[in-house]
Amino acid sequence: MTENIIIIGSGPAGLTAAIYAARANQSPLVITGREIGGQIATTDQVENYPGFPDGVTGPELVELMQKQAQRFGARIETDFVTEVNLKTHPFQLKTETGNAYAAKSLIVTTGASPRKLNVPGEKEFLGRGVSYCATCDGFFFRGKEIAVVGGGDSALQEGLFLTKFASRVHIIHRRDQLRAQPILQARARENPKVNFVWNAVVREIKGNGKVETLVLENTQTHARSKLPAQGIFVYIGHTPNTDLFKGQLEMNEEGYLKVDARLHTNVPGVFAAGEAHDHVFRQAVVSAGYGCMAEMEAEKFLAQVASGG
């Protein structure tokens, strides 16, 4: 069976594309990735997504989007695409559970993953003090002293969330100024549990079975110091999840997919939406908007194919 539209990914871009495709009677198939929801599902409070004046949790927002897509007939499969062949049409896909699919059009919404620190101890202590998801793991740090690395919106937002559990949250930033929105900066500065460690980078994570100490380096003086912490949450940027398309879709040096103003990739019938190509805005509402655009273009493509054009 050849699908009309396969959407790879289930973040705000993928689920919005699914809502539009389902309402257009395309009966889209969403291949979610290993978990549904993408990055927004890993945050506790979303206060800037329109339509939720009192905020909404990330998992709730995802659940609502999923329901909305399914209501109009979107099919949602939890699976991970491991191989694509975009040189033939219909396009061919394989997944890690051994399924194979063919599709007339593809919407790539594979988004991005948290960038790693790449320091000794990071891999070793993953799940034993090292985390990239405060909503998932914050609870385990009740009464503990922890560190958050980064100076952007995510670092501050998640650092503030972690103050609900931790006795102290050290925000380690490599500069002496934050990039985060002023409202988050003000909240962090006012929170008595937050301590800023300026001009510092993490060089090593040490412990015995679990995280106990961070070795920091001052970016100005290069002096090293130790910070006792039982947890470290890393928010230092992202890497696009686009390895799957190497050699088939054009991308920049960092791996972000190249698209035109209408989200067409270099392969006709393959569209990209969200953080797989957008490294500038990085907001759920923006990815959702791109999901809508890509789907509308996919419909035009399908109409052309159907008319033999």
Residues making contact with ligand FAD (CB under 6 A): 8-14, 31-34, 38-40, 42-43, 46, 48-49, 80-81, 109-112, 154, 157-158, 241, 244, 274-275, 282-285, 287
Compare residues 8 and 249 and give the one whose CB is closer to ligand FAD. Answer: 8
User: For ligand FAD, which is the closer residue by CB, 122 or 217?
Assistant: 122
Task: State the distance between the two ends of the chain, measured CA to CA, in whole angstroms.
Answer: 22
Output 91 or 226, the one with its CB closest to ligand FAD: 91
Q: How far is the CB of 204 from ligand FAD (least distance, A)?
A: 24
Q: 104's torsion region: left (phi>0), alpha (psi -120 to 50) or beta? A: alpha
Structure tokens at 170: 């050290």
Judge contact between 161 and 136, C-beta under 8 A: no
For residue 204 the two structure tokens come to 């090593």
CB of 11 vs ligand FAD, minimal distance in Å: 2
CA dihedral 232, 234, 235, 241 (to 10 degrees): -150
Strand partners, 21: none
Q: DSSP assignment of the chain, as one string?
A: -EEEEEEE--SHHHHHHHHHHHHTT---EEE--SSTTGGGGG-S-B-SSTT-TT-B-HHHHHHHHHHHHHHTT-EEE---EEEEE-SSSSEEEEETTS-EEEEEEEEE---EEEPP---TTTTTTBTTTEES-HHHHGGGGTT-EEEEE-SSHHHHHHHHHHTTT-SEEEEE-SSSS--S-HHHHHHHHH-TTEEEE-SEEEEEEEESSSEEEEEEEETTT--EEEEE-SEEEE-S-EEES-GGGTTTS-B-TT-PBP--TT-B-SSTTEEE-STTT--S---HHHHHHHHHHHHHHHHHHHHHHHTT-
Minimal distance in Å, beta carbon 17 to ligand FAD? 9
Q: How far is the CB of 112 from ligand FAD (least distance, A)?
A: 5
Query: Minimal distance in Å, beta carbon 279 to ligand FAD?
Result: 11
Nearest distance in Å: CB 277, ligand FAD: 9
Nearer to ligand FAD, 152 or 207 (CB): 152
Which of 97, 220 has the CB closer to ligand FAD?
A: 97
> 54 vs 309, which CB is nearer to ligand FAD?
54
Q: Of the two residues 181 and 191, which places its CB atom closer to ligand FAD in the complex?
A: 181
**Residues with catalytic annotation?**
133, 136-137
Task: Give min distance, CB of 108 to ligand FAD, in A.
Answer: 9
